[in-house]
Structure 1
Amino acid sequence: MGYLMKSGYGQMKLLGSRVPIEEALQDPKLDESKKQKLRLAQEAREFAEKELHLKSTKNYTSYVELGRPYVTYVVSAAYRWELKHYQWSYPFMGKMPYKGYFNEPDALEEEKELQQEDLDTYMRGVSAYSTLGWFNDPILSSMLRYDDYDLVNTIIHETVHTTLYIKNSADFNERLATFLGNKGAEQFYHKKEGTDSPTLKQIQNENADNKLFSLFISGELKDLEKWYKDLPAAERSESKRQERIHLIQEKFTKELQPQLKTDSYKKFPEAKLNNARLLLYKTYMQDLGDFERLYELLGKDYSRFIEQCKTLEKVKDPSQGLKDLIVSLSTHAKKE
């Protein structure tokens, strides 16, 4: 209850700091570059609702100047000898593989306590998040540090969460929003700047890299999961575990990095990886190819794709339900 009360206070304080976008744009103290980003965010919001047919809300119609680089600090944890999330339970949302704090010291204290339980941990600052329709989410000054196309992607990503969020399925929800954020940003810049847009080309290259990395990390995580299961307890050591994780980075450098068109994953070889951080890649990037296959089967129709994904809301395992849906639609297409 203490955590929920503190989080509720932080959320109310944040919402109490909102000013309408129109007022922010008239503020002489607000930097012109931030005003440009606010206008772009409004374009992205309108595009998400009118062109992509995502849920229409009052989200992103107000602005908050945070005065700090991140809005929250999120702690994730995982078991050392099993590629499995440590999860927290929340009212309404169900189980989630992370815990957020408005104050960095609170997040660091949580991380320290989890480490004392012999868990892998990863703490990171977060620039944007969705309240899933419970409140009218503002644009945050932390979001304005993004490149233009990343800001557009983020607005669409978070609007996907408001449109469809399946309880107790955090990994599926994040992969869905990642996939649709990428596709939506591509469509936005195709309409805004045309087929010869350098921004569009950059997005297409990043999306192509995301596909390659998703395929790579999906295979590596499945292999690591098997390695954990097959390794006898008597042979376990932290040095052996770190050596095995480092092999993933070595393989990335030798086999995947030369194929990439952008610098999106340039920090991966030097990242301090553990199970908590690897599971973050699983949450956002594993098996994005399944979403791509469904998208192709539906003629790259964004709205139809969303409607088909909504049929997975009552399925016990949405990821498996997605695979089953692909098989069903493929079989139907062949019969026709």
Structure 2
Amino acid sequence: MPEHAHRTDPRTRRLSCALVVGALLLSGCTGAFSPRYYWQAAHGQFELWRRARPLDVVLADSATPGPVRDQLRLAADIRDWASSELSLPDNGSYRRYADLGRRFVVWNVFAAEALSVKPRQSCFPVAGCVSYRGFFAEADARAHAHALAEAGLDVHVTGIPAYSTLGWFDDPLLNTFIHYPETELVRLIVHELAHQIVYVRDDTEFNESFASAVEEEGVRRWLARPGKAALQQGFDRTQTMRADFAALVGKYREMLDELYRSDLPDEAKRAGKHTLIGQLGADYIRLRDGSWNGFRGYDRWFGQDINNATLASIGLYTSARPAFSQLIARAPDLPSAWVSLRELAALPRDERRARLGLPPHPDDR
């Protein structure tokens, strides 16, 4: 490309912004920060942006498979509805499509001490501190996890189908989630758009609990549309099992936390850890074969190595969701709810938690 294009082409300026912001969102400051990590973040974001095509182009392409075309039309309907009905940002996000040729867009690495359920934090220049580090290539994620495990940490690697750039630029629909069932597609698009309303640095519980409350409100309203009643039963069952799973994992995470904080010697704590994780697996089988009537959708999760990092990756930061659901219910309309939310976000953490009726944050006690 000619040198002057870098100064004059808006598309190029937008791409440069994507590279920088993508790297800032993904590049962690905890531990050794390497140019290689920065490069994989920038390169991965560039590839995602480069592959994205406008939906009308993809829909008109004869090479687009019929099932994908149907899902793209559904996603376009959800996207328009999310702005008109939920007053979520009306921008270019989820109005393009990218096929990355892989199952996940990024892989997140979680890590925790061998005798702690508190995840190790990675701090990002834009997103603040979060409990994982993301990689666009699975091999890079697993290499990083291996290095952490060699240092004696519990580690967990999980594939992620979508992430938000927080409104810095337009996020596309991806092959990694376009095949989702209808209610799950609504859930994902609404959740990611909610992150564009407001984002509070270093308060993952606020961000995720709010987005989770918005997604639930979004699905509720979507299912109230004409012709959607048949989806309700399946959604309710999925919600029940999702809640059962989170409660089961949360129960054992709390039991392990209590064990680790006790005065027992480390050897006894390690033995207790092994016992409790075994009991978690047994309780899951009873749940699966009992009230779930043999549903095996969580077998893969329980079939992996369960450790502190695995447990820390599940539902750790959504406990404030009921408070946000109440905020939404009390507001006269959703735009008013979003105004209240932004006002809360501007407050110090202890004050906004008090306004939401939440106890002090564990780090502030």
TM-score, with length taken from structure 1: 0.84
Correspondence 1:144 to 2:175: no
Output aligned runs, 1:14-25, within 5 Å: 14-25=48-59
C-alpha separation in 2, matches of 1:98 and 1:22: 36
Does structure 1 retain, via aligned residues, the 8 Å contact 2:256–2:273?
Answer: no
Aligned residue in 2 for 1:283: 316
Greater mean alpha carbon deviation, residues 232-241 or residues 14-23: 232-241
Aligned residue in 1 for 2:232: 200
Quote how far apart the aligned CAs of 1:324 are.
Answer: 3.9
Aligned residue in 1 for 2:356: 325
C-alpha separation in 2, matches of 1:150 and 1:295: 21
Shift of the 255–315 alpha-carbon distance from structure 1 to 2, 3 Å rule, reads: farther
Quote how far apart the aligned CAs of 1:217 are.
Answer: 4.2
Does structure 1 retain, via aligned residues, the 8 Å contact 2:205–2:320?
Answer: no
Quote how far apart the aligned CAs of 1:191 are.
Answer: 1.2
Aligned residue in 1 for 2:306: 273
C-alpha separation in 1, matches of 2:284 and 2:319: 15
Does structure 2 retain, via aligned residues, the 8 Å contact 1:309–1:322?
Answer: no
Q: Deviations over 1:290-313 (max 9, x none)?
A: 4445455x2796555444333331
Does structure 1 retain, via aligned residues, the 8 Å contact 2:289–2:295?
Answer: no
C-alpha separation in 2, matches of 1:56 and 1:30: 26
Shift of the 226–324 alpha-carbon distance from structure 1 to 2, 3 Å rule, reads: farther
C-alpha separation in 2, matches of 1:208 and 1:13: 37
C-alpha separation in 2, matches of 1:217 and 1:289: 19
C-alpha separation in 2, matches of 1:154 and 1:29: 26
Output aligned runs, 1:1-336, within 5 Å: 1-194=35-228, 197-236=229-268, 238-254=270-286, 258-259=290-291, 263=295, 266-267=298-299, 270-283=303-316, 285-286=318-319, 288-296=321-329, 298=330, 302-317=334-349, 321-322=352-353, 324-326=355-357
Does structure 2 retain, via aligned residues, the 8 Å contact 1:214–1:287?
Answer: no
Unaligned residue ranges in structure 1 (runs of 5+) = 328-336
C-alpha separation in 2, matches of 1:35 and 1:149: 17
Q: SS at the partner of 1:75?
A: strand
**1:244 maps to amino acid:** L
C-alpha separation in 2, matches of 1:40 and 1:324: 38
Quote how far apart the aligned CAs of 1:190 are.
Answer: 1.7
Shift of the 269–150 alpha-carbon distance from structure 1 to 2, 3 Å rule, reads: same
Greater mean alpha carbon deviation, residues 18-27 or residues 177-186: 177-186
C-alpha separation in 1, matches of 2:95 and 2:201: 26
Q: SS at the partner of 1:311?
A: helix
**Identity fraction in percent:** 24
Shift of the 137–153 alpha-carbon distance from structure 1 to 2, 3 Å rule, reads: same
Q: SS at the partner of 1:66?
A: coil
Quote how far apart the aligned CAs of 1:112 are.
Answer: 0.5
Does structure 2 retain, via aligned residues, the 8 Å contact 1:72–1:127?
Answer: yes
Greater mean alpha carbon deviation, residues 223-232 or residues 281-290: 281-290
Does structure 2 retain, via aligned residues, the 8 Å contact 1:206–1:261?
Answer: no
Does structure 2 retain, via aligned residues, the 8 Å contact 1:206–1:262?
Answer: no
Does structure 2 retain, via aligned residues, the 8 Å contact 1:88–1:97?
Answer: yes
Does structure 2 retain, via aligned residues, the 8 Å contact 1:130–1:137?
Answer: yes
C-alpha separation in 2, matches of 1:208 and 1:229: 31
**2:255 maps to amino acid:** D
**2:346 maps to amino acid:** K
Q: CA RMSD in A?
A: 2.9
Shift of the 217–73 alpha-carbon distance from structure 1 to 2, 3 Å rule, reads: closer
